[in-house]
Chain A
Amino acid sequence: MAQIFPKWTNNLPTYVALGTFVLLTGAVGFVWYYFSPEYTDVGYRPKQPVAYSHKVHAGDLGIDCRYCHTGVETQAQANVPPTRTCMNCHTMVNTDSDKLALVRESFASGRPIEWVRVHNLPDYAYFDHSAHITAGVGCASCHGRVDQMEEVALVEPLSMGWCLNCHKNPDLHLRPLDQVTNMKWEAPVSQAEFARAARTEKDINPSIECSACHR
């Protein structure tokens, strides 16, 4: 009787094993990359109800971040400005711009503008802006060059691993306090020395305990 299986089938288990290995590794790699916040979140640029340009305001006009984000130095939330803050200028500047129609409408009707949140942490993680600002972490460290963005996009993954990287070694992100909101600031050559001095002076040893962020 002829053999039922041809000879090449002898190698089949090896191929199957190899194939499975490649597939599994591929799957792990796929999930590793495509399910990570680096892929899913970074670059998130939702359309905002008002075409507000950070580039114009923070970049070209050089308005300080804190003009609008008033809570950033003193509390957890930086806060998005009330409509009135826009109207402080726009009752005089560009008073009939189409882009500002919604802002004027909001101011007249008292109905707030619904901005879309870009930087969103999970509800079980508690981030405090003031703690980071007073330590000398620049806005740009987490938010990127907002002064160059027409529409704000997420530039960092805001994942726990990303947070911990800096909490373990914050040296690269510390600046003099007067430079915190300066978007154009770049680390000097002597950054390592500055960081060492600042950390000693202000006792900056960021916690890597769970309780630092989770409550």
Chain B
Amino acid sequence: MGRQGKEYWRSLNQLADTDEFKEFLHREFPKGTVELAGNAWSRRSFLTTMGASLALAGLAGCRRPVEKIVPYVTRPEEIQPGLPNRYATTMPLGGSACGLVVTSREGRPVKIEGNELHPSSQGAAGTFMQASILGLYDPDRSQEVLKDGRSSDWDAFVAFWKKQQVWHIADGGEGLAVLSESFSSPSLSRLKTQFEKAYPRAKWVSYDPVSDGNISLGIEAATGRKLQPVYDYSKAKVVLSLDSDFLGFESESVKATLGFADGRRVLSQQDDMSRLYVVETALSITGSTADHRLAIEGGRIAAFARALAGELSRQGVLLNVLDNVTLPDGSDFDGKWLEVAAADLIAAGRQSLIVVGRRQPAEVHALVLALNEALGNIGETVSYNENSDSPDSNRETLAELTADMREGRVSTLIYLGGNPVYNAPVDLEFASSLRKVKTIIHFGLYADESAAGANWHVPQAHFLESWGDARAVDGTTSVIQPLIEPLYGAHTDLEFASLLTSGETKSAHDAVKDTWKDILGGGDFDKKWRRVLHDGLLTGSAAANVIPRIDRRGLTGIISASTVEKSKVTVSNMEIGFYSSNVFDGRFANNGWLQELPDAVTKIAWDNVALVSPATAEELKVENGDMVTLNYEGRSLEMPVWISPGQAKYTVAVALGYGRTAAGRVGTNTGFDTYRLRTAGAPYFASGLTVGNIGNNYTLANTQDHGSMEGRPIVRENTLAGYKDKVEFFPEEPHHPPLVALWDEVKYDKGYQWGMSIDLNACTGCGACVIACQSENNIPIVGKEQVHNGREMHWVRLDRYYAGDKENPEVVMQPMTCQQCENAPCEQVCPVAATTHDDEGLNVMVYNRCIGTRYCSNNCPYKVRRFNFFNYTNDIPEVAKMAQNPEVTVRFRGVMEKCTYCIQRINTAKIDSRSKGREVADGEIVTACQQSCPAKAIVFGNINDPESEVSKLKENNRKYHVLEEINTRPRTSYMARLRNPNPALVSKESHKSEHENG
């Protein structure tokens, strides 16, 4: 097989085996961590504070704390204090909608999970959805109506608008403009129609910095219709992604991940799995999962798509819709790769799929629609529907609006959400164009950059506080119902839009019901409505599939309108690419969970960086963390550089959404504002970038090297073909003497014995489990400095290992959390028995016993224990404490903590089943990480029950334990990763990498 020799490395430092890395390995925590210095805490101030708190504790300790019980006056029927309630709602994000089930305790939402009935979530929820619970309780959200920056109130605004509205009605809305974010809400669409009727000459423009606009434009050009694509990755045998991070930051990634994982579930040697080809610029989550990956500049992907069309046509695919287009040959690219990928797509016969990312221009989307059509994929792996409620029908662009504003043709501008002052293309000079607008009204969650220059700012309610509705991508009509009254007295989109339209205040609940009376049709409305509220959606409301007919003229037109050129990038003319990130387009910048979630690939938290490939870095003479100047079209931006294996040569990738100036306490001045380089002409990528090295180093909080496994067989893998041939995985398990425990072995053969299985073939490294765990288990945010010190608190660490060629590595992701070892090394060194084993095989952590010696962490071979160096929870704002789970102890300074397999969920299920006189059923206990996993990679259950799903997975021949040879006997096992490379490319690639490494 030749795979034994593959060498895994986690970071370039490790590959280089630098002194710094060696020192890192030998220290339990990185330098400076154990010394209490830090910036904020000198030893002296620490001791002073400690002394003071001890003195206070001494006084207070004598008296019993008096605690109050405050019952309801009249208990609401549906609330039993202490028992959680679960409600279905929907999170709208751009044009998509994700169905959620939110757990509420005594009226305060605490945990977000996916809605199993909803087509876009199917029970799972991504990082944005889950972290929005923290966004709800964000104390930095705008809390009052502002008039010219001074405190005012809603009534004053209503009175103002009623007066203002009279003029606008009089002149038909001349000079009135609404700038909204994109949405897919039936109610908001209805109000928009009414708005347009009331003010026929007004403008309604929608703008999002990161949107699916290119996709709709492309499809419209190719078919003449406004259609919404829906992909079914589970059916696809061969997937080719052209710059689409469909498992990461594209719309509908949760659904895509589940479908994709379903297409790759291998439970025996007889099973097959899909093959993924990825052509992209920066290494993405999708690229990390790829079986074959080609790194090219974003600007050449259009050319690649045409070359692919040419290749498909050469291989016999009927492409006569493209007769008038000259299709280049693949000479500009890796010809063999192209040929093999095309052949594979054809061979999959109607079960292949080509997807294009939202970053690519419309013409690529149009062309690929034709290719999918020619391959017979439409109706199989991709279908289309007519989504009537998204606002793209308005062709006014932001640029036109800005021009109008500059020329004084806009007298009243209303922002309906959105933050264009921060995120509009820099060359539009949006902020300066506002000068001639007489009245600016900002309606948004935060008093942000855009609110600063507005005459009125009206706080917007969070979606968890709102009545509303949204259409999922497949057309399913979903309802947004509030979990809590607006915390800060804010108003919902629908209330605001109703006011704009009619001048009357109308409750959002009534507005939604008005819309739904039409949607639900005749009959008993209340009964149907209650059903909708229960399910969170209208069952069976998915839009009918449409078979698009290709409009030949439109397709040829859009393709001929643009030309493709050969690659021209050099070290002095590089390409810059803009990406959405963990804070999406910047709207989640003030969310500490998302800021602290390390980037899936670079593992950098709390910052965005300029990614370059190792070879490019060498030419630029830059190292990790060096500050560089990015000069593009006369503008420049200083930011730190990071060497990212797999980045296309001579390209720089930067994440959007950082460097905010008015985001709040978490997001302001975190990272670098890359919108300052982003122009209207090149929203996603463009060449013409030069990079200058400034030299001084910038501190980045990176979790990459933490907890290194020192080259042991931690992630094991094989190719599908190799596995079918023989059950073996590489790196091979080391030879070891018979495993004998030092102590008497305890037999865990009675009752429940908990265990977990994690399928590395399904895991994409998306990070949903990390956020789920953080939300469920009250895990604190520690901040950039502490993450840099290696003190991040996440119980689930997502490890990312590279293998092979530095310029285009193979990547594996591995969630690493407490393995619940039966022979746990941590337990044997705890001097106070604060971590012990229970009879169900759990390695339990007793916080109140822990005295913080950290011996356990030192002795943990998996490095999954986390220590509270400070009293992090103390710093949580009072309102954000409402997000905490009362079922889990909040840990204090000086206490060790780690994954508990969600023991609170185990105990709840055990008590519940006992009181009903039955055993806990398989699947009844779902850990938070398992629940959230969009790929269903994690399975938890009773391994003492041979019929349980987890037991069966542990019998599977792909199962292995990490560090089996040290006899820790972990309860968490992994399923070895499988790759499905095309044999036609394998020999070539391995030959190539050997050649380059040699």
Contacts and interface: CB of A to CB of B under 8 A. Distances in A.
A33 B206 CA distance: 72
Contacts of B67: 116-117, 120
Interface in A101-135: 106-107, 110-117, 120, 122-124, 126, 128, 130-131, 134
Given A82-B71, A112-B72, A215 B903 contact: yes
Contact of A214 (B64, B73, B889, B917): B889
B914 to A, nearest CB: 7
Contact of A82 (B68, B73, B83, B888): B73
In this complex, the member of B890, B904, B907 whose beta carbon has the largest number of chain A beta carbons within 10 angstroms is B907
Interface string A29-62: 0000000000011001010000000000000000
B840 interface: yes
Interface string B75-91: 10000111100000000
B69 interface: yes
B842 A84 contact: no
Contacts, number: 118
B779 to A, nearest CB: 14
Interface string B900-923: 100110010001001101000000
A123 B73 contact: no
B69 A215 contact: no
Given A82-B75, A134-B914, A215-B907, A117 B69 contact: yes
Contacts of A123: 889-890
Interface stretch (A72-80, A91-99, A161-169, A181-189): A72-80
Nearest to A205: B751
B59 interface: no
In this complex, the member of B64, B73, B81 whose beta carbon has the largest number of chain A beta carbons within 10 angstroms is B73
Interface in B827-869: 836, 838-840, 842, 844, 846-848
A101 to B, nearest CB: 15
Given A128-B911, A210-B836, A215-B887, A84 B74 contact: yes
A130 B839 contact: no
Contacts of A44: 64
B887 A209 contact: no
In this complex, the member of A83, A111, A214 whose beta carbon has the largest number of chain B beta carbons within 10 angstroms is A214
Contacts of A112: 70-73
A19 interface: no
A199 to B, nearest CB: 13
B69 A80 contact: yes
Contacts of B887: 126, 215
A192 B840 CA distance: 28
Contacts of B844: 209-211, 214
B66 interface: yes
A107 B74 CA distance: 8
A115 B68 contact: yes
Give the interface SS of chain B, mostly helix, strand, loop or mixed: loop
Contacts of A76: 82, 911
Nearest to B842: A211
Nearest to B903: A215
Contacts of B842: 211
Interface in A129-165: 130-131, 134
B73 A110 contact: yes
Contact of B75 (A41, A46, A84, A126): A84
Nearest to A78: B82
In this complex, the member of A79, A110, A112, A210 whose beta carbon has the largest number of chain B beta carbons within 10 angstroms is A210
A214 B848 contact: yes
Interface string A190-215: 00000000000010000101111011
Contacts of A215: 887-889, 900, 903-904, 907
Nearest to A84: B74
Interface of A: 40-41, 44, 46, 70-71, 73-77, 79-84, 106-107, 110-117, 120, 122-124, 126, 128, 130-131, 134, 202, 207, 209-212, 214-215
24 contacts: A79-B71, A79-B80, A79-B82, A82-B73, A82-B75, A83-B73, A84-B73, A84-B75, A112-B70, A113-B70, A115-B70, A116-B67, A120-B67, A134-B914, A202-B917, A209-B839, A210-B844, A211-B844, A214-B844, A214-B848, A214-B889, A215-B887, A215-B889, A215-B907
Question: Which 7 A/B pairs are nearest by Cβ-Cβ distance?
Answer: A77-B82, A209-B838, A82-B72, A134-B915, A117-B67, A82-B75, A211-B844
Interface of B: 64-75, 80-83, 836, 838-840, 842, 844, 846-848, 887-890, 900, 903-904, 907, 911, 914-915, 917
Given A113-B71, A120-B64, 7 more contacts: A71-B83, A79-B71, A81-B71, A114-B68, A123-B889, A215-B889, A215-B903
